[in-house]
Chain A
Amino acid sequence: MSIFSRIVERLFSLAAAGSALLTIAVFLLLLYLALPLFEQGGFWALIRSPWDPGAGLYGIYPMLIGSLSIAFLALLIGFPLSLGGAFFITCFAPLFLRRHLLNLVRLLTGVPTVVYSFAALFLLVPFLREHLTGGSGLNILGAALMLAVLIAPTMIIFFVDALRRVPSGYLQAVTALGGSPGQGLVYIALPLAWPGILNGLLLGLGRAMGDTMISLMIAGNAVALPGSMMDSARTLTAHIALVIAADVSSLEFQSIFACGILLYLFTALLVLMVRLLGKFPKRSPG
């Protein structure tokens, strides 16, 4: 083997290992800057206490709840929508529409989030303010609605992929037995495709938790613990974006690294769950 190819191959492996190490380095960097919090034993207290700078409390509990409630509400709205969309593309749509619809959905995954939030801020928010929720119109409901629209294309692509991977012979057998396409979908395709669907759901949750611009611009960023979905709330991601200007050594500032660590761990947990899902034994239709 020539020296040239040896060098190039070494470079390939270095690139792979380096990228993987960077993934760990990011976590270590966040941990290093959050270290003062650990030393004071304040990390867990920080996660559980409220945000009240006047009383010296810089807890991120309200942001955690804000993030979780917005993400899960978005999923609650977005999941049925995406499932319906995926059913439509795989089963009910006229044949000539299916491919174009899927391409449109792919296109929608590329729409910038800041564009969505900008449009929603001047269209959805005034609507909510005047007709539905009152107040400023900046609340959990609006953010969750927009997030649902944002994550739906990603979920639809995963759902369609999962449904299409069901062997076509099974569905042809349904047709041969006199079953309708809808019956094939509900009794054969759906039970076989559920790991893929759960996979898409988890990734949708990850996107919803990790999104910054929509919650920053539409959720209102109030630091109080939200009581209902008409309340405005601040998410972990928005908190990072908002506090960045504070003094570097303050406790207020260090709280954003706690947010970063929480988001990182949440992501890793989701990925591990998706992994475990992949190991799930494939059930044959019985």
Chain B
Amino acid sequence: MNRFGELLLALFSWCCTLLLTATVGILMLFLLRRGLPAFDAALFFGDTPPLAALLLSKPVFDGLFPALFGTLALVLLAIACAVPVGLAAGIYLAEYAAPAPKRLLNLFFDVLAGIPSIVIGLAGFALAIVLHRTFSGRIGHCLLLSALSLAFLVLPYLIRSTQNALEAIDPVTRRTALALGASKLQNILYVLLPNRLADLTGGVILAVGRCAEDTAVIMLTGVVASAGIPNSLLRQYEALPFYIYYISSQYSGPEELQRGFAAALVLLSLCVALFLLAFFIQRRLKERLLYR
């Protein structure tokens, strides 16, 4: 390759990077420009007084509050279901599994991680149909079903992050407590897991982000455009990503559209904030462990 070819290659990579960052930058600026003017208390609470809405004493009719509440409930439920199972499976893979079952399990979790979210949603939907046929009761599309499907969606990420965190521990740290007479389980609970707390927390926060942004799963399992605050787990609910999608197809005027832009901004900042939180926790704790 001569000097000209090299120059061309460098130029190509500069252009690709600039093009990508410019595209994303333009899209984000566009969102900011259209969404920012809509930010005020009415965006979140409509005509209801904010305090009354926050205390759930008065319903909010046209604001983002029910959608935010739905997303929050959904994420908390899904994470509460997924984290114990994900951590346990990850620990098993990293510390206990023999090579052959480990290979097989790895294959399964790779497939699971690759299944499109809409197919997970479809499975949740199918589950509701089957339950409905068998019990023909009031089990249908609801908050609980969505949360379980979402938990299933983020499970492989949690397993992977736990497994990778544990497998990255250096042999000296791994063996010290064992040499002092600790059992295998004590070693895991008191040495290995605390040692990797930063990575584990980071993994969980990223899973929270994925739960909050996913639209396809909840679309099929119980989210609706207007439901207010759900008063039980078996009710339908509103959620922020679905609100954005709904506005994009059904908006009735420029004002409503602007609320859609604002909602997109809220969701975007939520996900960026979660990402930054995970990033800084991972780095901060690493530094502290390093200089202690």
Asked if A114 and B122 sit within 8 Å, CB to CB, the answer is no
Q: Once bound together, how far apart are the Cα atoms of A87 and B12, in whole Å?
A: 9
Is residue A68 within 8 Å, beta carbon to beta carbon, of the partner chain?
no
* 16 pairs of residues in contact across A and B, judged by CB atoms under 8 Å: A14-B88, A19-B89, A22-B155, A29-B127, A29-B130, A87-B13, A88-B17, A92-B9, A110-B213, A118-B248, A123-B26, A182-B1, A240-B119, A244-B220, A260-B122, A271-B107
Chain A residues within an 8 Å CB radius of B260: 118
Chain B interface helix/strand/loop/mixed: helix
The 6 nearest A-B residue pairs measured at CB? A84-B16, A210-B116, A112-B213, A15-B88, A88-B13, A182-B6
- A20-B108, A119-B30, A217-B245 known; A114-B213 Cβ under 8 A: yes
Chain A interface helix/strand/loop/mixed: helix
The contact of A30 among B122, B183, B184, by CB within 8 Å, is B122
Is residue B264 within 8 Å, beta carbon to beta carbon, of the partner chain?
yes
Q: Which residues does A use to contact B, with CB under 8 Å?
A: 1-2, 5, 8-9, 11-20, 22-24, 26, 29-30, 32-33, 80-85, 87-89, 91-93, 101, 103-104, 106-108, 110-123, 149, 152, 180, 182-183, 185-187, 203, 206, 209-213, 216-217, 237, 240-241, 244, 248, 256-257, 260, 263-264, 267-268, 270-271, 274-275
Name, among A30, A110, A122, A270, the residue most crowded by chain B CB atoms within 10 Å (CB to CB): A110
Q: A118-B31, A119-B264 are in contact. List 15 more A-B contacts (CB 8 A).
A: A5-B185, A16-B105, A81-B20, A88-B17, A91-B13, A101-B17, A106-B279, A111-B271, A117-B248, A122-B30, A182-B10, A209-B116, A213-B245, A257-B126, A260-B123
- A15-B89, A241-B216, A241-B219 known; A270-B114 Cβ under 8 A: yes
Asked if B17 and A84 sit within 8 Å, CB to CB, the answer is yes
The contact of B85 among A15, A149, A182, A268, by CB within 8 Å, is A15
The contact of B116 among A33, A84, A183, A212, by CB within 8 Å, is A212
Asked if B264 and A118 sit within 8 Å, CB to CB, the answer is yes
CB distance from B267 to the nearest CB of A (A): 5
Near A by CB (< 8 A), chain B positions 161-198 give 183-186
Near A by CB (< 8 A), chain B positions 80-134 give 84-86, 88-89, 91-93, 95-97, 104-105, 107-112, 114-123, 125-127, 129-130
Asked if B241 and A112 sit within 8 Å, CB to CB, the answer is yes
CB distance from B72 to the nearest CB of A (A): 16
Q: Once bound together, how far apart are the Cα atoms of A2 and B189, in whole Å?
A: 15
Chain A residues within an 8 Å CB radius of B129: 33, 248
